[in-house]
Amino acid sequence: MALQAPPLSFPEALKPGRVVGGGRAGVFPPPLPGAAATMFSCVKPYEDQNYSALKRSCLRRKVLFEDPHFPATDDSLYYKGSPGPTVRWKRPKDICEDPRLFVDGISSHDLHQGQVGNCWFVAACSSLASRESLWQKVIPDWKEQEWDPEKPDAYAGIFHFHFWRFGEWVDVVIDDRLPTVNNQLIYCHSNSRNEFWCALVEKAYAKLAGCYQALDGGNTADALVDFTGGVSEPIDLTEGDFASDENKRNQLFDRVLKVHSRGGLISASIKAMTAADMEARLACGLVKGHAYAVTDVRKVRLGHGLLAFFKSEKLDMIRLRNPWGEREWNGPWSDTSEEWQKVSKSEREKLGVTVEDDGEFWMTFEDLCQYFTDIIQCRLINTSYLSIHKTWEEARLRGAWTRHEDPRQNRSGGCINHKETFFQNPQYIFDVKKPEDEVLICIQQQPKRSTRREGKGENLAIGFDIYKVEENRQYRMHSLQHKAASSIYINSRSVFLRTDQPEGRYVIIPTTFEPGHTGEFLLRVFTDVPSNCRELRLDEPPRTCWSSLCGYPKQVTQVHVLRAVGLKDSPTGADSYVIIKCEGDKVRSAVQKGTSTPEYDIKGVFYRKKPGQPITVQIWNHRILKDEFLGQVHLKADPDDLQALHTLHLRDRNRRQSSDLPGTIGVRVFSSASLMAV
- Helices and strands (DSSP H and E) totals, the chain: 13, 29
Could you tell me if residue 38 is inside a domain? no
Q: Specify whether 434 is located in the same domain as 510.
A: yes
> Torsions phi, psi of 186, nearest 5?
-95, -15
Of 4-13, 180-189, 396-405, 591-600, the range with the lowest mean pLDDT is 4-13
* CATH number (domain holding residue 579): 2.60.40.150
Cβ-based neighbours of 207, under 8 Å, separated by 6 or more: 46, 67, 69, 70, 76, 172, 174
Give the H or E element holding residue 548.
Answer: helix 547-550
Count CB-CB contacts under 10 A for residue 495.
Answer: 24
Residue range 482-526, pLDDT digits in tens: 999 999 999 889 999 999 999 999 999 999 999 999 999 999 999
The residues assigned a catalytic role are: 119, 290, 322
Q: Specify whether 69 is located in the same domain as 175.
A: yes
Computed over every residue of the chain, the mean pLDDT equals 86
Cβ-based neighbours of 214, under 8 Å, separated by 6 or more: 79, 206, 449, 450, 456, 457
Of residues 31 and 591, more confidently modeled: 591
Using alpha carbons, list the distances in angstroms from residue 253 to 19, 134, 244, 375, 476: 23, 23, 14, 11, 40
Q: What is the largest CA-CA distance in the chain?
A: 101
Answer with the one of 379, 401, 435 that is the final residue of a domain: 379
- How many angstroms separate the CA atoms of 476 and 81, rounded? 48
Q: Specify whether 183 is located in the same domain as 264.
A: no
Q: What pLDDT score does 19 carry?
A: 35
Q: What pLDDT score does 101 carry?
A: 93
Answer with the one of 356, 379, 402 that is the final residue of a domain: 379
Whether the pLDDT of residue 409 is over 50: the answer is yes
Q: Specify whether 344 is located in the same domain as 413.
A: no
* CATH number (domain holding residue 491): 2.60.120.380
268 has which bridge partners?
292, 375
pLDDT class of 309 with cuts at 50, 70, 90 = low
Q: Specify whether 404 is located in the same domain as 435.
A: yes
Could you tell me if residue 491 is inside a domain? yes
Could you tell me if residue 618 is inside a domain? yes
> pTM, whole model, 2 decimals?
0.84
Q: Specify whether 454 is located in the same domain as 588.
A: no
Domain count of the fold of the chain:
4
Return the DSSP state at 186.
S
Q: Do the beta carbons of residue 117 and residue 216 sit within 8 Å?
A: yes
Q: What pLDDT score does 281 carry?
A: 85
pLDDT class of 5 with cuts at 50, 70, 90 = very low
Mean pLDDT value across residues 547-572: 87
Q: Specify whether 52 is located in the same domain as 192.
A: yes
- Per cent of the chain over pLDDT 90 is 58
Handedness of CA 191, 192, 194, 197 (dihedral sign): negative
Could you tell me if residue 259 is inside a domain? yes
Q: Specify whether 59 is located in the same domain as 141.
A: yes
Count CB-CB contacts under 10 A for residue 482.
Answer: 13
Residue range 234-273, pLDDT digits in tens: 899 999 899 999 999 999 999 999 999 888 889 899 988 7
Mean pLDDT value across residues 389-401: 90
Could you tell me if residue 260 is inside a domain? yes
Identify the domain containing residue 567 by its residue range.
553-672
pLDDT class of 34 with cuts at 50, 70, 90 = very low
Return the DSSP state at 216.
S
Cβ-based neighbours of 361, under 8 Å, separated by 6 or more: 319, 320, 321, 328, 329, 333, 334, 335
Could you tell me if residue 473 is inside a domain? yes
Answer with the one of 379, 407, 429 that is the final residue of a domain: 379
Q: Specify whether 358 is located in the same domain as 446.
A: no
Q: Specify whether 402 is located in the same domain as 345.
A: no
For the chain, how big is the Rg over CA atoms in Å?
Answer: 30
Residue range 115-146, pLDDT digits in tens: 666 777 877 887 888 788 889 999 999 999 99
Q: Tell me the pairing of strands 231-236 and 585-588.
A: unpaired
| Cα angle 283, 286, 292; round to 5 | 180
pLDDT class of 17 with cuts at 50, 70, 90 = very low
Mean pLDDT value across residues 28-55: 65
Q: Do the beta carbons of residue 578 and residue 635 sit within 8 Å?
A: no
pLDDT class of 293 with cuts at 50, 70, 90 = confident
Burial of 348 (0-12, 13-18, 19+ CB in 10 A): middle
Q: Specify whether 242 is located in the same domain as 166.
A: no
Q: What pLDDT score does 1 carry?
A: 34
Could you tell me if residue 313 is inside a domain? yes
Residue range 268-292, pLDDT digits in tens: 999 887 767 777 888 999 988 888 8
Could you tell me if residue 336 is inside a domain? yes
Whether the pLDDT of residue 48 is over 90: the answer is yes
Q: Specify whether 238 is located in the same domain as 196.
A: no
* CATH number (domain holding residue 255): 3.90.70.10
